[in-house]
Chain A
Amino acid sequence: MSDKVLMKGAEALAEGAIQAGCRYYFGYPITPQNETPEYMSRRLPEVGGRFVQAESEVASINMVYGAACAGVRVMTSSSSPGISLMQEGISYISGSNVPCVVMNAMRGGPGLGNIAPAQADYFQAVKGGGNGDYKRIVLAPSSIQEGVDLFVDAFELADKYRMVVMVIVDGLIGQMMEPVEFKTRIDVSTLKTPEWATVGRHGRDHANIITSLTLDAAGLEQWNLKLQAKYAQVEQAESRIEEYQMDDADYAIIAYGTMARIAKTTVRVARDKGIKLGLLRPITVWPFPAKQMQAYVGKLKGTLTVELAYRQLFEDVQLTLCDKMPLGWYGRGGGVVPGPQEILAAFEEQFGKGR
């Protein structure tokens, strides 16, 4: 008898957040992640937390902003069109230097699109979507268990750097079921209210004020430089990658999330055919694991970037490896998910038989 339970991704990630100390959730339903707010609405009151179904995504993210200013662990989740509506709030939270976690279970776009799995919000997550020069840490799990484990890191990183951390999955990870185990439980009574939190003066000689407004240009430039220094520190310290069957690889597939999971099967199928293929899987897509990839310059004959989007992840691969090796690309859109054989066919079309 194990300690595992069989959970749907969207439920397991919610429980992962609760185990990570999250006690506040504000959100608005949208497929394919409705099980997350549903689960939170049942579980948060049991652990002394609060769940509010807001009237819209705009309201949700601003409730998150408010709770974040109080220095508590707070999150929201949504899917692509809902995340688009939250961009203003994400920019304000980033500009105010407060921590929170936002999950996006990406679906087909643009626009209302459909409810099928996609990765086409990569640019929005990684490059921004709201206004101004801000960054957020973006974690991209490729299994339910990894998502659960990364939620602990998400809240820790958010608090450590006072940043928005996004967890991006797609509808498939949200909806599929797998056995999961909750290995880390954060005791919320050990979490200290930060010095900067707006929870009363408590004998201090000044009130804490949190705002993203700085009227004078020189002052705002100084503020931006502080943020930039922090982002540089995150880029230095926090990028992560999984290197799968890379020891003797001639070629690598570069993919994240669900697509990386399917690509692992491609790697095994290719190796059965004598092609020395490996997989480089970014776990953080911001900061992008550029240094880890650049270490393969001179060792690889080429890479194939595979994504459920049109040349978004590929653009970061190009920036990282530019003219250092041949860079191939294969992607599908609109909710179509290619199987391992289709990826292998794309590889062979672009790189021959890989010898």
Chain B
Amino acid sequence: MRELADLFGRPRTGQSIVFAGPSGSGKTEVAINLALSLIRVTTSPVTLCDLDVVKPYFRLRDMLRLLTEDEAGRLTIVEPERRLLHADIPTFPRNLHALLSSRETIKVIDVGGDAIGAGAVAQFRETIIASDYSLYIVVNTLRPGMDSADGLKRMLMAIRSGARLEVTGLVANTNLQAETTAEDVQRGYDAVKALGDSEGLPVVAVLVSPEYADQVVHRLAPGAAGLLSVIRVFNRILDTVGSQTEF
């Protein structure tokens, strides 16, 4: 089992790690988990940045309440103004250019889904390029349209042209929530690996969640097993939320 920050090359202060990908592929989960991993293994300040202008619920800003006080205290969160949190309008945080060019902190950036979400960051392109960035595409091959090599290729092209940034690598996040099997994870990895091979991109991580990790980890082929990391799940179906949920 690998530390997530290590799978992403243990980013250094000043670097930006950007997550994009098809809607519902798990970008926000991966971004939070990487930020939490970074505060575990480095002493650098870590900034988690919510640039999702697409989806109305289950955004980074909705999940932050699930962090412990200690975790929240060690992360700097950049999100749209509080009073606009539930406004159904695309808003970016203030001072974004200044933040994206900061050399004082590691920046983990969660971008909205599909080409449209990725397109929203294209306006910060120059700043992101100047900030020593890596861009990862998170893929769940059990999402609609992601079940074929063609579909995956089209998705990658659309997000590349939306973001207008170079892609660094791919993250295999294939899952059916609690119903995920080892075969699902293995086949997901194989499909993402094939996409990476044809595009010259590495697969940097294979992610599983604690609810099915035990049944999966020992049944993966070495290629996938060597990239495996268990992530904490923040988005979970509602009836397990123990107390008042206010959206």
- A32-B57, A117-B247, A175-B58 are known contacts. Are A5 and B238 too (CB-CB below 8 A)? no
Complex contact A342–B183 (CB within 8 A): no
Complex contact A177–B239 (CB within 8 A): no
Complex Cα spacing A196 to B71, Å: 65
A208 interface contact, C-beta 8 A: no
Chain A residues near B247 (CB-CB < 8 A): 115-117, 171, 335, 337
A192 interface contact, C-beta 8 A: no
- A2-B179, A115-B88, A261-B239 are known contacts. Are A175 and B55 too (CB-CB below 8 A)? yes
B229 interface contact, C-beta 8 A: no
Complex Cα spacing A35 to B24, Å: 11
Chain B residues near A172 (CB-CB < 8 A): 57, 238
Report B224 CB to chain A, min CB distance, Å: 15
Chain A residues near B58 (CB-CB < 8 A): 175-176
B244 interface contact, C-beta 8 A: yes
Please provide the chain A residues from 5 to 47 with a CB less than 8 Å away from any CB of chain B in the complex: 5-8, 11, 15, 31-32, 35, 39
Complex Cα spacing A1 to B176, Å: 10
- A172-B238, A262-B238 are known contacts. Are A342 and B243 too (CB-CB below 8 A)? yes
Complex contact B238–A176 (CB within 8 A): yes
Complex Cα spacing A179 to B187, Å: 17
Chain A residues near B88 (CB-CB < 8 A): 31, 115
Complex contact A5–B243 (CB within 8 A): no
Complex contact B243–A341 (CB within 8 A): yes
Complex contact A2–B242 (CB within 8 A): no
B42 interface contact, C-beta 8 A: no
- A114-B86, A176-B58 are known contacts. Are A6 and B242 too (CB-CB below 8 A)? no
A52 interface contact, C-beta 8 A: no
Report B213 CB to chain A, min CB distance, Å: 17
Complex Cα spacing A32 to B57, Å: 8
Complex contact A264–B239 (CB within 8 A): yes
Chain B residues near A337 (CB-CB < 8 A): 238, 244-247
Complex contact A6–B24 (CB within 8 A): yes
A232 interface contact, C-beta 8 A: no
- A6-B142, A176-B58 are known contacts. Are A336 and B238 too (CB-CB below 8 A)? no
A338 interface contact, C-beta 8 A: yes
Report A19 CB to chain B, min CB distance, Å: 13
Complex contact A335–B176 (CB within 8 A): no
Contact bitstring B169-190, A, C-beta under 8 A = 1, else 0? 0000001110101011001000
B157 interface contact, C-beta 8 A: no
Chain A residues near B1 (CB-CB < 8 A): none
Complex contact A336–B187 (CB within 8 A): no
A206 interface contact, C-beta 8 A: no
Complex contact A5–B142 (CB within 8 A): yes
Complex contact B56–A339 (CB within 8 A): no
A258 interface contact, C-beta 8 A: yes
Complex Cα spacing A114 to B175, Å: 31
Complex contact A177–B245 (CB within 8 A): no
B23 interface contact, C-beta 8 A: yes
Complex Cα spacing A339 to B98, Å: 40
Identity of the chain B residue whose Cβ is nearest the Cβ of A172 in the assembled complex: B238
Residues of A within 8 A of B (CB): 1-2, 4-8, 11, 15, 31-32, 35, 39, 114-117, 171-172, 175-179, 258, 261-262, 264-265, 335-342
Residues of B within 8 A of A (CB): 23-24, 55-58, 86, 88, 140, 142-144, 147, 175-177, 179, 181, 183-184, 187, 235, 237-247
Pairs across A and B, CB under 8 Å, 12 listed:
A1-B184, A2-B181, A5-B144, A6-B140, A31-B56, A171-B56, A176-B58, A178-B177, A258-B238, A265-B239, A335-B247, A340-B242
**9 additional contacts, CB 8 Å, given A337-B238, A339-B243?**
A2-B181, A6-B140, A175-B58, A178-B237, A265-B240, A336-B246, A339-B245, A341-B243, A342-B243
